[in-house]
């Protein structure tokens, strides 16, 4: 029996209902294959005594791995060691959860040199975003503090 299928394309402004349906379908498929309910958020921040936010690191852990998804330091506080402080705290939290590996993505215009100085190594490099730009997948092995 032949079906009349309709294929749609969206160059701009993909409908939110479509995004939600695809996300929900993929999430259901993934949950059936892997225990994704065990993914846990991980975050650290650094503030002034008055509570003003100076920076933070956000990510998630699952099993023996931890993904750093975002690292940010307020522009007027960059170059003062706060990023390294945040990363050490983030790594300590991950190790305390039993993580043995941290990985992250960074563009060539962001901070690959910063991460290299902290002991991260390049696992992959993807070029072609714009002339001269690359995206790096970086990783670092941790000494696990707890199972």
Edge-first strand listing for the sheet containing 101-107: 40-47, 53-62, 65-73, 101-107, 134-141, 121-127
Cα 73 to its chain centre, rounded Å, is 16
Place of tokens 């790096």: 136
Q: Residue 96: count other Cβ atoms within 10 Å of its Cβ.
A: 14
CA 60 remoteness from chain centre: 7
Report the alpha-carbon distance of residue 31 to residue 95 in Å, rounded.
25
Instruction: Convert the pLDDT of each residue in 67-108 to its tens digit.
Output: 999 999 999 999 999 999 999 999 999 999 999 999 999 999
Terminus-to-terminus CA distance in the chain, angstroms?
55
At 82 the pLDDT is 97
Taking phi over 0 as left and psi of -120 to 50 as alpha, with beta for the rest, 79 belongs to left
Ordered by where they begin, the domains of the chain are 39-141 (3.40.630.30)
User: What pLDDT digit, counting tens, does each position of 6-49 carry?
Assistant: 888 888 889 999 999 999 999 889 888 888 788 899 999 999 99
Indicate the pTM of the whole model.
Answer: 0.83
Cα–Cα nearest to 64, from 39, 90, 33, 85: 39
* pLDDT value at residue 145: 56
On whether the CB atoms of residues 30 and 39 are closer than 8 A, the answer is: no
Q: Tell me, what's the pLDDT at 115?
A: 98
Instruction: Give the Cα separation of 36 and 122 in Å (integer).
Output: 26
Q: Per-residue confidence at 1, pLDDT binned at 50, 70, 90?
A: low
Given a cut of 80, whether residue 146 has pLDDT beyond it is no
């Amino acid at each position: 029996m032949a079906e009349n299928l309709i294929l749609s394309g969206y160059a701009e402004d993909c409908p939110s209902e479509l995004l939600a349906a695809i996300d929900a379908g993929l999430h259901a498929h993934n949950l059936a294959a892997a225990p994704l309910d065990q993914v846990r958020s991980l975050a650290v921040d650094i503030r002034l005594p008055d509570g003003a936010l100076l920076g933070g690191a956000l990510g998630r852990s699952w099993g023996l791995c931890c993904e750093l998804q975002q690292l940010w330091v307020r522009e007027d506080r960059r170059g003062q060691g706060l990023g390294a402080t945040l990363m050490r705290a983030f790594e300590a939290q991950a190790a305390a959860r039993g993580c043995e590996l941290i990985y992250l993505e960074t563009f060539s215009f962001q901070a690959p040199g910063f991460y290299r100085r902290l002991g991260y190594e390049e696992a992959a490099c993807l070029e072609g975003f714009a002339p001269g730009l690359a995206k790096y997948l970086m990783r670092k092995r941790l000494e696990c503090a707890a199972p």
